[in-house]
Amino acid sequence: MATIIKCPGCGALWRLDEKTANEPQYRCGGCGRVFEAAKAERLTVPDAELDRLTAEARAAEPEDVPPMPSAAHARPTAEFSADPRAALYVPKRSPVKAFLLLLVLLVCTATACASAFLMMHEFVLAQAPFLRPVYENVCAKVPCPGFVWRDVSAFRTSGTLDEDPELGFRRPVLHATIVNASAHPQALPVLEVKLLDPAGEVLVTSVLEPAQYGFPQKPAVLPAGASVKAEVRFKTTLPHDASEASVRPVAADEGR
């Protein structure tokens, strides 16, 4: 009588001989899995019947059914160093399934890399500022938590002047209003402020960082559709009274 045991991992069928039939564990020569003998399916058939079935299988699919060795095919765990031997039957592995699995893994890897690329925008942009247009384009379409745009054209600004209690309009106080008119959070811009006399001539021009007009946090962010007011007190005394102010958002490197 021949004893056949089935690998619970890949379904390979192994023929046991008298020496290996009572081992507590086996290693499958097809998939390499170690399994408990008590938990595996077994079948006892006459030797002649098994030889007939094996011969018929070989005749039907000679390229898939290897010659049946005389020794045991499922190895006891104590013989792990021995080379695995051929099984009576090892299920075919579908190339389509393998390709689909590889495709899923590639998609998951690409998604994880893209997510990390978007989540680490501050670090990436610190190393490669030229990638900002790429981020702004992508983040306008997909969520990028914490990403801040830097588009000076998104702002609407205005300014009015008040008198200084002592020097009047020769050292005026500027009240500026900054509006984010875009649909995205924007970093507060650099402001170019010009004080003009009654004839429209420029008395003085100042370029102010956000910290200089009251917003020292970095980055100083203005949410979409929001507005802020800023007060700027000039330290320079003008040669003439100022009558109005021109306030314009500029790029960080403009006017320097």
Task: Convert the pLDDT of each residue in 106-136 to its tens digit.
Answer: 888 877 776 666 667 777 777 888 888 888 8
CATH code for the domain in which residue 244 is found: 2.60.40
Q: Would you state the pLDDT for residue 70? A: 38
| Overall pTM > 0.75 | no
Based on the fold, state whether residues 157 and 108 are members of the same structural domain: no
Residue 180's pLDDT band, with cuts at 50, 70 and 90, is: very high
Share the mean pLDDT of the chain: 79
Structure confidence at residue 33 as a pLDDT band (50, 70, 90): confident
Continuous H helices in the chain: 47-60, 95-119, 121-127, 132-139
Q: Is the pLDDT of residue 213 over 80?
A: yes
Q: Is 100 domain-assigned?
A: yes
Using 50, 70 and 90 to split pLDDT, how confident is the model at 99? confident
Question: 103 and 65 in one domain?
Answer: no
Task: Examine the domain organization and report whether 102 and 134 are in the same domain.
Answer: yes
Tell me the three state secondary structure of residue 164.
Answer: strand
**pLDDT value of position 118:** 64
How many Cβ atoms sit within 10 Å of the Cβ of residue 254? 13
Please give the residue range of the domain that contains residue 120. 95-139
Banded model confidence at residue 232, pLDDT cuts 50, 70, 90 = very high
* Predicted pLDDT at 75: 46
pLDDT of residue 72: 40
Predicted confidence band of residue 186 (pLDDT cuts 50, 70, 90): very high
Confidence of residue 86 (pLDDT cuts 50, 70, 90): very low
Indicate whether 11 belongs to any domain: yes
Residue 195 is encoded by which pair of tokens? Answer: 């004080």
Say yes or no: 162 and 245 in one domain: yes
Burial code (b: 16+ CB inside 10 Å, e: under 16) for 166-177 equals eeebbbbebbbe
For position 45, what pLDDT does the model report? Answer: 80
Give the model's confidence band at 162: pLDDT under 50 very low, under 70 low, under 90 confident, else very high.
very high
Percent pLDDT > 90 in the chain is: 31
Total number of domains in the chain: 3
Of the listed ranges 21-30, 47-56, 166-175, 224-233, the least confidently predicted one is: 47-56
Rounded to whole angstroms, what are the CA distances from 256 to 24, 46, 81, 192, 246? 81, 95, 74, 11, 18
Contact of 222 with 228, CB cutoff 8 Å: yes
